[in-house]
Chains A and B, each alone.
Chain A
Amino acid sequence: MDCQAPSLDFAIIGHQENWQHITALINDIRTPRLEKLPVEKIKSIFSFIPPRDVFKINAKSKTGAEANGVYIETFIDPDMLDAQYIRTNISKVMNAVAFAKKLGAKVVTMGGFTSILLEGNFDSFSPGPSKFTTGNTLTAAFIVKGVEKAITQYGINLQESNILIVGATGDIGMACTNYFKGKTKKMLLCARNKNRLQKFALELIKDNILVNYSIVLDELIPEADIIICVASSTNIQMANCKKNVLICDAGYPKNLETTIDNPAAVHLFHGGMGQVLNGYSINPDYSKSMYHYEAPYISHGCALEAIVLALENKFETYSTGRGNITNDKMEEIYDLSLKHGITVAPFYNTKGLW
């Protein structure tokens, strides 16, 4: 049947990273029969479109289980993610939430900017059968497990290393900080909100954790042996990094490589990503224009959290609010993901696989 299924295991609400990706997707949808639309024409229409499901997703577990879901595009303008457009964007996210509910999605993950609604505890999720999650717990788990894997690969001694968390007071930043505290020589914390940063750092200091913190990134970078960047800012500059520093770019969009003064001297990978070993398919198949990874079946941790929960028939609000991600929750969702053959993605950056 061509019509919508009455209910879905999961839905992923998201938005596109840049106009280049959007242009490729729209022209892919148009098919080669029609003339390609230039980005300016696409810009004049794209962000007017109300949120809707764009393709179906079928994910396969190594247990043999399958989960069926959809991707709901919010049609948020990627150039309008700043605070000044927050009302417009929140309204789009709310419409996407309503759309997911209408489709009967049992668990809905809110990718990228859209998680703001759950992180901010907006009073907008009326009770209903659909459960909403930010997907931040699995994202954080993939980040920390990825970093651990990378330091093993490079023979880095974590206990003798200073680890810098950029975006330390965000939900994922706090989860990463809490995971690594006590395991490193020193925690270096950077965030934009001075008060929140100070409060968080003082809590760690009370626990006898050695911490340096600043809202000025440049003050912390030269000390860092490992950097985890989970900030969503587009104007981060990575200058004066130590030679061979390990960088996990887990922000959205992942654009740190363009800001590093000497990229050849660092080991950078895109973190927070997972790989579905038994594969997933999308229908209609827009992977030619939407899939930008060097290895197969890679996806964001936040999207994969919904898939893992769906495969487990665990339809619940798994990740919500800010600062609620515990190490136990990260271990739990990570173990569940491994059970279904969903692992930390192979290391890659814009130049390809490591």
Chain B
Amino acid sequence: METLQPASITIEEFNVISDIFSQAITGELIGMSNFASLVETIDDPHEKMEAVEHANSERSHAEGFMAYAKKKNLKININLHSPYWGNVRKQFLSYAIKKDFIACLIIQEVILESFAVSMYTDVANALGGEAGRLFHNIADEEKEHLEHSSDILRAELNKDPKAFIKKFEEIHFNCMTILAEFTATTDLRGHCGVCNGDCMKGALHHIGLDVTVMRGNALALYASALDNIGIPGEKSIIWIARLPA
């Protein structure tokens, strides 16, 4: 078995990489569960199959991360009921129960994928090598999800802009608030329940990352996704400014 040897990386680097993979695997499994729940909200058989395919895609991402973690003997902690991830899942389910396909799409494909694409890219650039390639490839696939959903949501906005923006605003504050708290410099709601020891955010510098920059990049991508859908800037700036920081 290949392992990350102490000679090649420090214990601090090993711990933070383990935590990053733990978060990524947990996030992908949440995504998989969300898409699986989404299947129930769709009547169109083709779209139903597409949702299953997306769930499978998230599963394969989780498997990819797990395989790498196993190969490198990383210390992985998966916790789908952790405070932040669990709350994101609860939010998603609250809309899935109502068979609100558009709301589910906003949560999974815009909010969560924006953060995934941006943060995976940052991690990929920092880690390089095999792990970097893995994160890059998965980020590219998640980006396709983000772009695909933008087309659907843009069409939805054009049908009834006022109602759509109102709905998006509600979802933004329900869901982005959780992510904003999660990605704040310090966990605003205590330990995330996924990191092995203390919060990894304070240790990201060991692999050349900074949570402020990662969060900033993720918010930037989210803001661009909102622009792409057609949310007016004067609305999106309000939504972003009113998040916890």
Please give the residue numbers on chain A whose beta carbons come within 8 Å of chain B beta carbons, in ascending order. 1-4, 26, 29-31, 34, 37, 41-42, 44-45, 47-50, 52-56, 70, 72-73, 99, 284
Contacts and interface: CB of A to CB of B under 8 A. Distances in A.
Given A29-B241, A45-B240, A45-B245, 20 more contacts: A1-B162, A2-B161, A2-B166, A2-B235, A3-B162, A4-B230, A29-B238, A44-B185, A44-B212, A44-B215, A48-B217, A49-B220, A49-B240, A50-B220, A52-B227, A52-B234, A52-B236, A52-B237, A54-B234, A284-B238
A29 B216 CA distance: 19
B224 interface: yes
Interface residues of B, number: 27
A48 B237 contact: no
A52 B223 contact: yes
Contact of A1 (B161, B234, B240): B161
B237 A29 contact: yes
Given A2-B165, A31-B242, A41-B245, A50 B234 contact: no
Nearest to B236: A52
B233 A3 contact: no
Nearest to B163: A2
A45 B219 contact: yes
Contacts, number: 74
Nearest to A31: B242
A53 B234 CA distance: 6
Contacts of A99: 227, 233
A17 B230 CA distance: 29
A217 B91 CA distance: 63
B216 to A, nearest CB: 3
A113 B220 CA distance: 22
B202 interface: no
Contacts of A29: 237-238, 241-242
Contacts of A42: 245
A49 B223 contact: yes
